[in-house]
Amino acid sequence: MTDQQNNQPESAAGEPTARSMRTVAMTALGGTSIEWYDFFIYGTAAALIFPTLFFAEDMPRYVSLIASFSTFAVGFLARPIGGVLFGHFGDRVGRKAALVTALMMMGVATTLIGLLPGYAQIGPLAPLLLIFLRFVQGLAVGGQWGGAMLLVTENAPANQRGFYGAFAQAGAPAGLVLANLAFLAVSGSLSDEAFMDWGWRGPFISSVLLICLSLYVQLKLEDTEAFKELAAASQPAEAKPRSPVLKALKTYPREISLAAGAFLGVQVTFYVCVAWIISYGTDPEGLNIARSDMLTAVLISTMFSVPANFIFGAWSDRHGRRGIYKLGAILTGLWGFVMFAMIDTGNWWLITAGLAISHICLSMMYGPQAALLAELFSTEVRYSGASLGYQLGAILGGGFAPIIATSLLLAFGSSMWIAGYIALANVLTWLSINALKENHVKDLDSVA
Report which of residues 297 and 48 the model is more confident about: 297
Cβ atoms of 171 and 27 closer than 8 Å: no
CA dist 245 and 154 (Å) reads: 19
Q: What angle do CA 216, 5, 156 make, to 5 degrees?
A: 65
Share of the chain above pLDDT 90, in %: 34
**Phi, psi at 10, each rounded to 5°:** -130, 160
Tell whether the model's pLDDT for residue 399 goes beyond 50.
Answer: yes
- For range 286-313, the mean pLDDT: 92
Q: How confident is the model at residue 5 (pLDDT cuts 50, 70, 90)?
A: very low
The set of residues, in sequence order, having a beta carbon less than 8 Å from that of 276 and lying 6+ positions away, is 47, 69, 401, 402, 405, 406, 418
Tell whether the model's pLDDT for residue 129 goes beyond 70.
Answer: yes
Q: Bridge-partner residues for 16, per DSSP?
A: 10
Task: Estimate the share of the chain in helix, then strand, then coil, as percent rounded to the nearest 5.
Answer: 80, 0, 20
Length of the chain: 448
CA dist 90 and 110 (Å) reads: 23
How confident is the model at residue 3, as a pLDDT?
A: 40
CA dist 397 and 389 (Å) reads: 12
- For range 231-238, the mean pLDDT: 55
* Residue 55 Cα distances to 120, 218, 279, angstroms: 9, 39, 17
Q: How confident is the model at residue 349 (pLDDT cuts 50, 70, 90)?
A: very high
CA dist 180 and 293 (Å) reads: 11
Q: Bridge-partner residues for 10, per DSSP?
A: 16
Any idea of the CA torsion for 32, 34, 36, 38, to the nearest 10 degrees? -150
Q: How confident is the model at residue 232 (pLDDT cuts 50, 70, 90)?
A: low
Tell whether the model's pLDDT for residue 12 goes beyond 50.
Answer: no
Reduced to 3 states (helix: H, G, I; strand: E, B; else coil), residue 412 is helix
Q: What angle do CA 118, 123, 129 make, to 5 degrees?
A: 65
- For range 297-319, the mean pLDDT: 95
Which of 110-124, 172-186, 214-228 has the lowest average pLDDT? 214-228
Report which of residues 50 and 8 the model is more confident about: 50
CA dist 398 and 60 (Å) reads: 25
Tell whether the model's pLDDT for residue 9 goes beyond 50.
Answer: no
Q: Is the peptide bond before 236 cis (omega within 30 degrees of 0)?
A: yes
The set of residues, in sequence order, having a beta carbon less than 8 Å from that of 297 and lying 6+ positions away, is 281, 348, 351, 352, 355
How confident is the model at residue 99, as a pLDDT?
A: 81
Query: What counts of helices (H) and strands (E) characterise the chain?
Result: 21, 0
CA dist 253 and 249 (Å) reads: 5
**Phi, psi at 16, each rounded to 5°:** -60, 150
- For range 79-87, the mean pLDDT: 85
Report which of residues 297 and 54 the model is more confident about: 297
What is the maximum alpha-carbon separation in the chain? 68
CA dist 71 and 75 (Å) reads: 7
Report which of residues 372 and 6 the model is more confident about: 372
Q: What are the boundaries of each domain within the chain?
A: 18-437
The set of residues, in sequence order, having a beta carbon less than 8 Å from that of 404 and lying 6+ positions away, is 421
Alpha helices, DSSP H only, in 93-124?
95-114, 119-122
Q: How confident is the model at residue 225 (pLDDT cuts 50, 70, 90)?
A: low
**Rg value, the chain, Cα:** 21
pTM over the 0.85 mark: no
How confident is the model at residue 178, as a pLDDT?
A: 86
- What letter represents residue 236's amino acid? P
Cβ atoms of 56 and 378 closer than 8 Å: no
Q: What one-character DSSP code corresponds to residue 16?
A: B
Cβ atoms of 72 and 42 closer than 8 Å: yes
Report which of residues 415 and 391 the model is more confident about: 415
Determine the straight-line distance between the first and last CA of the chain, rounded to whole angstroms.
32
Share of the chain above pLDDT 70, in %: 88
Tell whether the model's pLDDT for residue 434 goes beyond 70.
Answer: yes
* Residue 416 Cα distances to 35, 101, 285, 428, 438, angstroms: 33, 42, 18, 19, 34
Q: How confident is the model at residue 15 (pLDDT cuts 50, 70, 90)?
A: low
Q: How confident is the model at residue 222 (pLDDT cuts 50, 70, 90)?
A: low
- For range 71-99, the mean pLDDT: 81
What superfamily does domain 18-437 belong to in CATH?
MFS general substrate transporter like domains (1.20.1250.20)
